[in-house]
């Protein structure tokens, strides 16, 4: 069977390992975009890429930056959002994504802590290796979620007992509470975990599927986004039970409809993927509104440098880049562009800035977010490059690799472009 393991209030649980006085209290970990990435004087910043999951972002960290209690203060204003809240805090209505200011109004005695992402990534990495010793196939889905396949390892009738033992071992070794969902398929197991939380185990047997999903709202199922909701609502399908009873309708919606139905019905046998292939490498940051386009381009250069470092570390060969802009009043602009070139740092910087000039359609509006990503990877052995730029790109690629070695040793900021430190 498939197990879905989800660490309960993971960031808070990690903080409680460091500080036992936080146990049984209203605690939250807050987040602010790591503005130090744009600091003109930062040094010693490195990247952690050891975690490999569908939703595990690359981590940039610097020992220079030790976040303290003033992390969320900007003058007299409280900045940031809640990323994780303890179950004690959730009783006050505190939710992930809520502003810290709003959370403190709901619970004035809430303890809000700055994130220790290095600790969270390290514990997640260690737990994955622990699980790989306990189960034959383990897939890391996010920093606090894992799928595992017990087929041929644990008999179905003993899987629940095995899960309780595994849960106990994780608590004993790591001090982390975890919930486990068990079913024949990945997405039903993930759905089961929602019912197991907090700190519980839920097994869904084949004969129990229809009863289990009957009253679950469709938006609770992974993969049903806004477009699917709109379509299903138009057919008066509001619960997973409604979908389960509508096989003919869903199957008439071609492959996507058939796949969705089979996932909900528990007949879609998606395999556990130990080494989840990354389809996209990206970096994005949110910041206070900025009108100055030269400052925005400086930040694009900085994000491009960090993105190129990730690209070098992963060894991926992309053909497509993406730039997204978010403006102060929710307007957005974005575009993909495909190239037949070797992607080097200098190439990325030039092309992202060109793309920005092309898609910056609200030039008098302030910008609050930039998103850069690379995708459509290929094998270099089977790829034919544009001959026009090949020699120049090859030279820049060699330089790019040499600079990468310096950054690996001394930090990502050891070599910068002059445009990144303007006005300093």
Q: Which residues are catalytic?
A: 145
Distance from C-alpha of 10 to C-alpha of 176, rounded to nearest angstrom: 8
Query: Which burial class, exposed, middle or buried, applies to 195 when counting CB atoms under 10 A from its CB (0-12, 13-18, 19+)?
Result: middle
Identify each DSSP E strand in 108-235 by its residue range. Answer: 111-113, 137-142, 145-149, 178-183, 201-203
The H-or-E segment that residue 78 falls in is strand 77-78
Residues 6+ apart with CB under 8 A from 229: 218, 219
Task: Provide the angle, in degrees to the nearest 10, between the axes of the packed helices 345-359 and 387-410.
Answer: 110
Q: What is the Cα 370 distance to its own chain's centre?
A: 16
Burial 214-229 (b: 16+ CB within 10 A, else e): eebebeebeebeeebe
Distance from C-alpha of 141 to C-alpha of 54, rounded to nearest angstrom: 5
Q: Which residue bears the tokens 């950054």?
A: 407
Q: Which tokens go with 202?
A: 């839920």
Q: Which residue bears the tokens 């040793």?
A: 409
Distance from C-alpha of 163 to C-alpha of 170, rounded to nearest angstrom: 10
Distance from C-alpha of 388 to C-alpha of 385, rounded to nearest angstrom: 9
């Amino acid at each position: 069977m498939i197990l879905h393991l989800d660490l309960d209030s993971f960031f808070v649980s990690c903080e409680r390992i460091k500080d036992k006085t936080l146990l049984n209290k209203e605690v939250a970990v807050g987040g602010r975009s790591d503005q130090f990435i744009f600091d003109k004087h930062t040094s010693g910043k490195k990247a952690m890429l050891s975690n490999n999951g569908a939703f595990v972002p690359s981590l940039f960290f610097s020992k220079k930056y030790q976040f303290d209690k003033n992390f969320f203060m900007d003058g007299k204003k409280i900045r940031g959002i809640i990323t994780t809240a303890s179950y004690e805090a959730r009783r006050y209505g505190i939710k992930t994504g809520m502003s810290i200011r709003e959370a403190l109004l709901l619970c004035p005695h809430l303890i809000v802590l700055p994130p220790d992402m290095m600790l969270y990534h390290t514990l997640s990495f260690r737990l994955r290796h622990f699980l790989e010793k306990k189960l034959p196939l383990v897939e890391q889905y996010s920093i606090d979620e894992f799928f595992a396949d017990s087929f041929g390892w644990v008999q179905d009738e003993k899987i629940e007992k095995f899960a309780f033992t595994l849960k106990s071992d994780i608590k004993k070794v790591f001090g982390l509470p975890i919930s486990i969902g068990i079913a024949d398929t990945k997405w039903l197991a993930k759905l089961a975990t929602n019912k197991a939380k907090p700190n519980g185990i839920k097994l869904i047997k084949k004969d129990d599927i229809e009863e289990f999903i009957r009253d679950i709202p469709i938006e609770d199922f992974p993969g049903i986004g806004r477009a699917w909701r709109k379509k299903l609502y138009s057919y008066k399908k509001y619960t997973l039970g409604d979908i389960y009873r509508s096989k003919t309708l869903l199957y008439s919606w071609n492959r996507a409809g058939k796949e969705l139905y089979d996932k909900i019905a528990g007949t879609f046998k998606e395999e556990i993927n130990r080494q989840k292939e990354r389809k996209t490498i990206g970096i994005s940051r949110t910041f206070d509104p900025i009108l100055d386009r030269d400052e925005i381009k400086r930040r694009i250069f900085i994000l491009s440098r960090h993105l190129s470092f990730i690209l070098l570390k992963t060894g991926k060969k992309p053909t497509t880049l993406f730039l997204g802009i978010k403006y102060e009043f929710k307007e957005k602009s974005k575009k993909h562009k495909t190239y037949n070139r070797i992607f080097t740092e200098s190439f990325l910087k030039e092309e992202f800035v060109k793309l920005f000039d092309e898609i910056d359609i609200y030039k008098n509006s302030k910008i609050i977010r930039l998103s850069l990503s690379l995708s459509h990877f290929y094998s270099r052995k089977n790829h034919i490059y544009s001959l026009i730029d090949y020699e120049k790109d090859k030279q820049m690629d060699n330089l790019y690799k040499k600079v990468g070695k310096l950054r690996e040793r001394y930090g990502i900021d050891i070599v910068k472009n002059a445009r990144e430190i303007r006005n300093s």
